[in-house]
Chain A
């Protein structure tokens, strides 16, 4: 019988592989190896697969909570977009949800079929995740649309009001500000 350490190694590999399979919709070589690992003998393959799929759902849940307006606007497009993103991106550490939000917002910005205001809203909401993540940082954000105003309703189909703004965010050793300079 496998030791607990061997079992946990095999489980971690199998679950991540199952998560990847759910993301890309195919089996991978790593997935096949994980499923045949002797340390996993006697464990239901169906349970492993379901547990792996849970990882995607959990990651998406975190992204929804940190990018609420973006994910609400994406609506039915969100699950497939996130699965595509998750297939290529995986982080470690205790702030993985924040890294996922930043990563997903960058992924959205590269999806040219999405309207430009969706790109900007994702960048705007992710800015606050970035703010939390790093103690030392300096960046500027330029927005063409009023995505920064929570009172403005933004829908996927209709171009929102335009207002050019430039925001400056800086932090040094944990202290800093986010402010509009234009």
Chain B
């Protein structure tokens, strides 16, 4: 029953006051850190509220890399973002990857960390890309086991990101919003809502993204990702290779109206423009966030 701990189908349903129990700091507008901008992030320090680092890039850092990490940490709040933990793998977690991730988090002490609702490894194969999960109760059970193991090892708040669904599965038992809600509430995690991925899925699979958004638990939406993609063979791709288009700005505005997010992050990966263009995008996102989330 909401408001009390209860056992439902063998799963403890945690009281839905995650935001009150996890006092995460408001962060503002941030940038996905890329080595190409390693000088620019300091030149434009005042325009960047926080950085998200790809965790894999900083595992077991060599001295030069460690100094780079120390310098970044001295100037920015760093949020580690994993790619290869494969929380959705039915065969369990990669313990080596988990330990390296844990070591990094112990070093940089972030307010939270993030990974994906996806799998990347199965049967000895490393796919090398985030692969979708069928939205079933069996998937929820696998996620529960893996997230429990990960959170036992890494005792900091975890937020989970939605991915683009290049593959759709038959016989799904839950819709998108139900799935994200169940995962975050069963595992007491937050949601990293990738607005671009939500938009891309809505275009490629023809649904209204707002109908998904409005069914999500707003207090669990902690951070947003946004960026532009490109069209290829009739599909919109999450290539992170272009300026954020107007449709995604509009969807982002709706999200920050709906949910008290802590941070909005621009994650550009390809066709990297001058930093001034990214600064302009971050400023637009910051204005929207401040206006709707009421942050200073």
Question: A50 contacts B235, CB within 8 Å?
Answer: yes
Given the known interface contacts A4-B138, A65-B269, the answer about A16 and B166 at a Cβ–Cβ threshold of 8 Å is: no
Question: A42 contacts B127, CB within 8 Å?
Answer: no
Question: A13 contacts B123, CB within 8 Å?
Answer: yes
Question: B123 contacts A12, CB within 8 Å?
Answer: yes
Quote the shortest CB–CB distance from B103 to chain A (angstroms).
13
- Cα A144 to Cα B239 with chains together (Å): 37
Number of interface residues of A (CB under 8 A): 42
Question: A94 contacts B134, CB within 8 Å?
Answer: no
Binds B, one of A51-59, A77-85, A119-127: A51-59
Quote the shortest CB–CB distance from B184 to chain A (angstroms).
20
Question: B56 contacts A12, CB within 8 Å?
Answer: no
Query: Hey, which chain B residues are within 8 Å of A12, CB to CB?
Result: 121-123, 125, 127, 131
Question: B100 contacts A4, CB within 8 Å?
Answer: no
Question: A68 contacts B63, CB within 8 Å?
Answer: no
Does B128 touch A at the CB level, under 8 Å?
yes
In the complex, per-residue mask of A41-72: 1 if CB is within 8 Å of any chain B CB, else 0: 11110011011001101110100110010000
Question: A50 contacts B127, CB within 8 Å?
Answer: no
Does B36 touch A at the CB level, under 8 Å?
yes
Using a CB–CB distance below 8 Å, which chain B residues touch chain A? 34-36, 56, 59-60, 62-63, 65, 83-84, 89-91, 97, 100, 119, 121-129, 131, 134, 136, 138-139, 142, 166-171, 233, 235, 237, 239, 269-270
Q: A3-B138, A50-B235, A94-B56 are in contact. List 14 more A-B contacts (CB 8 A).
A: A4-B139, A7-B134, A8-B91, A12-B121, A12-B125, A13-B123, A13-B125, A42-B170, A50-B233, A51-B166, A54-B237, A55-B128, A59-B128, A61-B239
